[in-house]
Structure 1
Amino acid sequence: MSILKRPLLTEKASAQNEEGVYGFVVATNANKIEIKKAVEKTYGVNVKSVRTINYLGKKKSRYTKSQVITGRSTSYKKAIVKVAEGEVIDFYSGI
């Protein structure tokens, strides 16, 4: 199982990329040390710090003819990674 699932490509995360801060969606059981090693190995940068956030999925409900169906969207874990000064991760190089 891969620790890094995908990069966060939101407007807020893209604004932080200029400061050397990058966001990733990671495996829910991954810890900060594993995330740091995976980013350093995958992108070849030095990681200064890692912050993690467990994101609980939003409640969703749908009204049908017979009943109301309720549930949640998927929960996931985010990692906010700060790389060393002057280093850059380029997510768009493979496009």
Structure 2
Amino acid sequence: MKGDLHQVLIQPLLTEKITALREQGNTVGFLVHPDANKIQIRQAVETLLKVKVSRVNVVNIRGKVKRLGRFVGKRSDWKKAFVTLKEGEKLELFESV
């Protein structure tokens, strides 16, 4: 995980909560690598997407236990990052949605 910023951001998240946060403030959401920290997430967004970040909030989400008949399994744990952009910054990635 050290040094490779391309592995930090996995995909953008488009949920009702993130869409509302984007309209209220200037917050976007990403599915990120489980070992990534706030500093790496900030560097990845600023470097790869070329925007200025003011704040990063991170949530670790536990995978749910799911059943298929008599078999029990567990979904993978994952990490979600809420990235607040500085005033005047926009991500064209989210503007068309």
TM-score w.r.t. structure 2 length?
0.85
Give the corresponding residue for 2:11: 6
Give the corresponding residue for 2:92: 90
Shift in Å, 1:93: 7.3
Shift in Å, 1:24: 0.4
Runs of 4+ more than 2 Å apart: none
Q: How does 1:1-95 map to 2 (within 5 A)?
A: 2-18=7-23, 19-63=25-69, 68-91=70-93
Shift in Å, 1:55: 0.6
Shift in Å, 1:84: 0.2
Identity of aligned residues (%): 39
Which protein is richer in helix relative to its size? 2
Unaligned runs of 5+ in 2: none
TM-score w.r.t. structure 1 length?
0.86
> What SS does structure 2 have at the residue aligned with 1:87?
coil
- Structure showing greater radius of gyration is 1
